[in-house]
Amino acid sequence: MDRQNGFEGNKMASGRLITFEGPEGAGKSTQAALLISKLEARGIEVVYTREPGGTKLGEAIRGILQYNAAGEDPCPESEVLLFEASRAQLVRHVIQPALERGAWVLCDRFADSTTAYQGFGRGFSVELMETINRFAIGAAVPDMTILLDVNVSLGMQRCAKRQIGKKVQHDRIESEALEFHEKVRQGYLDLARRFPERFRKVDAMRLAEPIAEDVWKLVSDAFLAQG
């Protein structure tokens, strides 16, 4: 295993895989959208996707994981395996083909979410989560993981604000206790320290625009500097 990266060092394709991670309300979707417009303006094909979801199977799993679509709560072990099933499908059906044709894939959450939420948050062995992640992602190793770091109370405030006037309220995992979300945040910070080659931590407790400027600098310096 590549100790700097956290995954096997068997990268396979000409495209780029950039993953956005962070606690609830970190602004992952907002920042992904801003980055997409900058990349597309440069003529780069971008595929945006999310976890759980991104395929028919993955979206069905998302309904089960977030809103109990199967009619009962998944037990913690099932929860891990459902996230991984969604991930395996997304990699084989969307991410891998896109990378092979040279597209850039921006993924809103990826394998590190399982390590942070189910490992650090739920208390499963981090090593076990990393092993299952490697099975699910195969060669789809992120080139860069942007960790949008936000404190739990600010992230939750943003989520609550977004919910105002909507029928669907907080989903199953979002509704976990604040202590759970604090463990998730600390887990992400731990991962960023362990894998500095791949992780880029960005202070997400600011307005969206300066965050987007930092994200753009990180991405363009890493991948576009020569062109």
Q: What is the rounded distance in angstroms from the CA atom of residue 211 to the CA atom of residue 195?
A: 21
In terms of CB distance, is 41 or 207 closer to ligand T5A? 207
Of 54, 99, 109, 183, the one binding ligand T5A (CB under 6 A) is 109
CA-nearest of 105, 108, 110 to 46 is 105
208 near ligand T5A, judged by CB under 6 A: yes
Q: What is the rounded distance in angstroms from the CA atom of residue 77 to the CA atom of residue 68?
A: 15
27 near ligand T5A, judged by CB under 6 A: yes
Of 15, 46, 83, 142, the one binding ligand T5A (CB under 6 A) is 83
29 near ligand T5A, judged by CB under 6 A: yes
Token pair, residue 22, equals 């962070």
Number of H helices, E strands in the chain: 9, 5
168 near ligand T5A, judged by CB under 6 A: no
207 near ligand T5A, judged by CB under 6 A: yes
182 near ligand T5A, judged by CB under 6 A: no
Listing from the earlier edge strand, what are the strands of the sheet with 144-149? Answer: 46-50, 104-108, 16-21, 144-149, 199-203
Token pair, residue 167, equals 């029928």
Site for ligand T5A in 110-129 (CB under 6 A): 113-114, 117-118
Site for ligand T5A in 137-166 (CB under 6 A): 158-159, 161-162
The verdict on whether omega for the bond into residue 52 sits within 30 degrees of 0, i.e. cis, is: yes
132 near ligand T5A, judged by CB under 6 A: no
- Identify which range of 44-52, 138-146, 188-196, 214-222 contacts ligand T5A by CB under 6 A: 44-52
